[in-house]
Amino acid sequence: MMGLEIKNLYVEVDATEILHGIDLKVPAGEVHAIMGPNGTGKSTLAYSLMGHPKYTVTKGDALLNGESIMGLAPEERSHKGLFLAFQYPVAIPGVTVANFLRTAINTQRKSVDPDYHGISIPEFRKLMLEKMELLDMDPKMGGRYLNDGFSGGEKKRVEILQMAMLEPNMAVLDETDSGLDIDALRIVAQGINTLKNEKLGILVITHYQRILNYLKPDVVHVMVDGKIVESGGPDLALRLEDEGYGWVKA
């Protein structure tokens, strides 16, 4: 299957089991959402997919385009086309957004072709400005240090910019909506919408329904206590917004 397939995944953090058998399929071309209360294991799933060393997979598997990624290093997963936007992006003072993105592109292209000599500055600039325009970003952002003093909205936009430039085939967006005011939320969501295509699967992790008004997921999954307890159409998100999580039982 093209896309992401998570099979009976169990994950521990510091010897505590957090995910208790997650099954999930996100086919290429579809947008899926995972909603759930805080502390339920949503970020744990995102970190496990990326291969964060703190998260130990004790059972199960995750396949990207039919191939297991669980034995791979984080950068290898990324080279296979997996992209993760984290809830709390880190600041890197001294590294500009443009430099960061250029390095990311070069690393990715070199993984495909070891002889690749690196993207030229004019070619890179053209690509970055094109994608920035798509995301309604000020070109000056490229010269600022990565996430250093960025507002919540700016951080998220830079993440989506990175996604736009790396052209992944599976994007996992962990609480991309958190801390955004309604205008920033709309711009970020529209940015994600412009990147949608039949080859890209998108998994949006969120606590709130509001970003889903813009992203219009094909399927909504509900996670409670480290398990998917319910899956359904977009109306499921609306019901959660109205009635809270009390009615879905783990």
Residue written as tokens 């998994």? 203
Taking CB under 6 A as the rule, does residue 48 contact ligand ADP? no
Among 3, 11, 35, 42, binds ligand ADP (CB under 6 A): 42
What one-character DSSP code corresponds to residue 28?
Answer: T
Minimum distance of ligand ADP from residue 18's CB (angstroms): 4
- Give the CA distances from residue 8 to residues 4, 20, 58, 118, 244, in Å, rounded to whole numbers and listed in that order: 13, 8, 10, 40, 26
**What number of H helices and E strands is found in the chain?**
8, 12
Select 44 or 78, whichever has its Cβ closest to ligand ADP: 44
CA distance 237 to 239: 5
CA–CA distances in Å: residue 4 to residues 101, 138, 201, 217: 25, 33, 8, 15
If contact means CB under 5 to 8 A according to the sort of partner, which of Mg ion, ligand ADP, none does residue 36 touch? Answer: ligand ADP
Q: Which of 3, 11, 44, 204 contacts ligand ADP by CB under 6 A? A: 44
Contacting Mg ion within 38-57 (CB under 5 A): 42-43
Q: Applying CB under 6 A, which of residues 43, 65, 162, 169 lies at the interface with ligand ADP?
A: 43
Question: Among 8, 39, 91, 216, which residue interacts with ligand ADP (rule: CB under 6 A)?
Answer: 39
Sign of the four-CA dihedral 138, 86, 50, 217: negative
Using Cβ positions, the residue closest to Mg ion within the complex turns out to be 43
DSSP 90: P
**Sheet holding 67-68: strands in order across?**
16-27, 3-13, 55-64, 67-68
Binder of ligand ADP out of 16, 71, 113, 183 (CB under 6 A)? 16
Which among ligand ADP, Mg ion, none contacts residue 18 (Cβ within 5 to 8 A by kind)?
A: ligand ADP
Binding site for ligand ADP (CB under 6 A): 13-14, 16, 18, 36, 38-44
